[in-house]
Amino acid sequence: MKDRFSFKPGYRLRACYLIFAFTFLTLFMIAMIIPVIKIVVDSVDPTATGITLWPKEFDFSAYEYIAKSTSLYRPLLVSVVTTLVGTVVGLLVVTVSAYVLIQKEMPGRGIVSKMIMFTMLFNGGLIPTYLTIQNIGLGNTYAAVILPLTLSAYNIILMKSFFDSIPTALFESAQIDGCTPMGIFAKLVLPLSKPALASIGLFIAVTMWNNFFNFQIYITDPLKQNFQVMLRNIILMDAATGTPATAGFTSEMLKSAIIVIVVAPFLVIYPFVQKYFVKGVTVGAVKG
Amino acid sequence: MKSSKVNTPNQAVLSNNKSLGKRIYKYRWFYIMFLPVFIMFIIFNYIPMIGIAYSFFEYTPFKDPTFIGLENFQTLFSSKRFWLSFRNTITISLLNLILSMIFSVGLAIMLDDLIGKRFKKISQTILYIPHFLSWVVVASLFTMFLSPQGGVVNNIIEIFGGEPIYFLADEKWWTPVFLLINRWKETGWSTIIFIAALSGVDQEMYEAAKIDGATRIQRIRNITLPAIKGTILVVFILNLAKILNIFEPVLVLYNSQVYNVADVISTWVYRAGLEGGDYGLSTAAGLFKSVISVTLVYITNIWSKKVNGEGVL
């Protein structure tokens, strides 16, 4: 295709389309990536103004400050721990529910299925949910911020569709070999659905890491807050009040460094796990 | 597990005739495994549904619930602020949905049609990133970039001799900026489903069209778009059913100066209930929203059945 961008009569429209599409795509990608680069540069370069793609100086004092200041690194630890625990609990909830839903002859399976699906259609709403959690004494506990997020009907349907593809003959032969339902679950079902576990587990992990609202409304103790809430509070505070004058870095640097720390774990693993994210969505789409 | 030792298909049919007690006993481990999940669904999803009854009570943190009938709804429907938030919800969500469809379908077609395999992979990787950043992070990024004091956008405006604009606190600017930020975050990711649909289009049709001398634009209009029409409709309908749910993006990007254009039902409920402490009134507003949402789901489901031959529910 030598004449791809030819402006000879008859090719003009195609050339225009190609140039437009190429420019549009490139601009779009630049727009996606510039903010991320800028924030990294801003976090180490006190002189950064405008759009710089490489820092003029390197100054890691904002990061050092975060590492030394309890009120800043504690929320990070909270985020890490709640993400790990939340992902494990979330996967357990999803896999157990899906495992129960594929038991075609189990009495009550239909009711369980309806009970799970109904939550996709209707819920009590913000205030009744908040009051329920407060009234049963879960206010200011990590159970209140983690557990509601693990109950995802969508993820359960997704996992069930993966389990459905396991041949029934495998279950039968395991049963004949004397395996208990739990044994089948742990030794057969889970190992066979590793790609699904990776895919759904990653989505749950992102949800847990990005958990802001539940922390905001249920956690009243500032020492138990996570990193997202702390970032939000620092951004909301005026630049002047937020930063210690003696620390030797600008408030822009501190804010940027905090954003970099929130985003970094994801950006590091993302290129290796992207295919699982895509898979999770497209399988769901096909199954409706 | 004596009963399940020989579980041939014949046995499976027979087991249906066994007494209910025996069948429950056979599945006892499943009930035990599922019990904790069941309790969680009850606590976090079903008990709150009973709490909807608070819409008919006067209830604040300092006062036990007293039954007042429909008074909360009367207050609600005569409140100008509430109707304003209702209007904003519809305006913001609909504009967002329409822009989302145009951008994601357009981008998906360009990605599919234009470029080499490797470039396509890299660009998809980059385009998906913003979707995974939390709304707090995205709001923080843009609050910094758009800030009138030293934000990069206003720096550029000042270089060209303009006056700095406080984009997120100006009623004229808030909605366009909000829509733009939404496109920045979600456009890439929302192409994913269309790219999957496009990969199913028969390549031979393109070849045939090429031989027949169809231009690229003609091919897009006559082959590509009709081929993914069904997917476009399903995505549109599914999102239409959710338009009243918009919440977290608004919560982290709005402020008291732009309530007139930015306040949506969910943020109104949040402020009235959790900041103002009027549990009864805010529950009533939440119920109003839920009822409309469910109705929308049913209407769109009927619509989807008509166009698509099957429902989305």
* Domains parsed from chain B with CATH numbers: 9-69 (no CATH), 75-308 (1.10.3720.10)
Contact: B30, A122; criterion CB under 8 Å: no
Give the pLDDT band of residue A88 (cuts 50, 70, 90): very high
- Across chain A, what does the average pLDDT equal? 86
B64 phi, psi to nearest 5 deg: -65, 150
Q: Considering only CA atoms, give the Rg of chain B.
A: 26
Q: Considering only CA atoms, give the Rg of chain A.
A: 25
pLDDT at A266 > cutoff 50:
yes
Alpha helical stretches, state H, chain A:
12-44, 61-68, 70-101, 109-121, 126-135, 142-150, 153-164, 168-176, 181-184, 190-192, 194-209, 213-218, 227-236, 239-242, 251-287
3-class SS of residue B311? coil
| Residue B6: per-residue pLDDT | 44
| Residue B197: per-residue pLDDT | 87
pLDDT at B35 > cutoff 50:
yes
For A126, the closest of B132, B184, B286 (CB atoms) is B286
Would you say the C-alpha torsion A184, A190, A196, A200 has a positive or negative sign?
positive
Give the pLDDT band of residue A2 (cuts 50, 70, 90): very low
For A231, the closest of B4, B5, B136 (CB atoms) is B136
CATH ID of A64-287, from 1.10.1040.10, 1.20.1050.10, 1.10.3720.10, 3.30.70.360: 1.10.3720.10
How far is residue A39 from each of residues A49, A73, B171, measured CA to CA in Å?
A: 11, 19, 27
Domain with CATH 1.10.3720.10 in chain A: 64-287
Per-position DSSP letters for B108-158, written without gaps between them = HHHHHHHS-HHHHHHHHHHHHHHHHS-HHHHHHHHHHHT-TTT-HHHHHHH
The percentage of residues in chain B with a pLDDT greater than 90, rounded to a whole number, is 52
Contact: B7, A175; criterion CB under 8 Å: yes
Q: A93 to chain B, minimum CA–CA distance in Å?
A: 6
Task: Decide: B186 and B133 in contact? Cβ < 8 Å.
Answer: no
Give the separation between CA B166 and CA B154, rounded to whole angstroms.
8
- Give me the count of residues in chain B: 313
The chain A residue lying nearest B286, using CA atoms, is: A125
3-class SS of residue A137? coil
Give the pLDDT band of residue A110 (cuts 50, 70, 90): very high
Q: B42 to chain A, minimum CA–CA distance in Å?
A: 9
pLDDT at B79 > cutoff 90:
yes
| Residue A7: per-residue pLDDT | 60
Between B131 and B117, the higher pLDDT residue: B131
Window 124-143 of B, Cβ < 8 Å to A: 125-130, 132-137, 139-143
List CB contacts of B252: < 8 A, sequence separation 6 or more: A212, A232, B135, B136, B138, B139
Contact: B4, A277; criterion CB under 8 Å: no
List CB contacts of A59: < 8 A, sequence separation 6 or more: A44, A45, A46, A249, A253
B65 phi, psi to nearest 5 deg: -60, 130
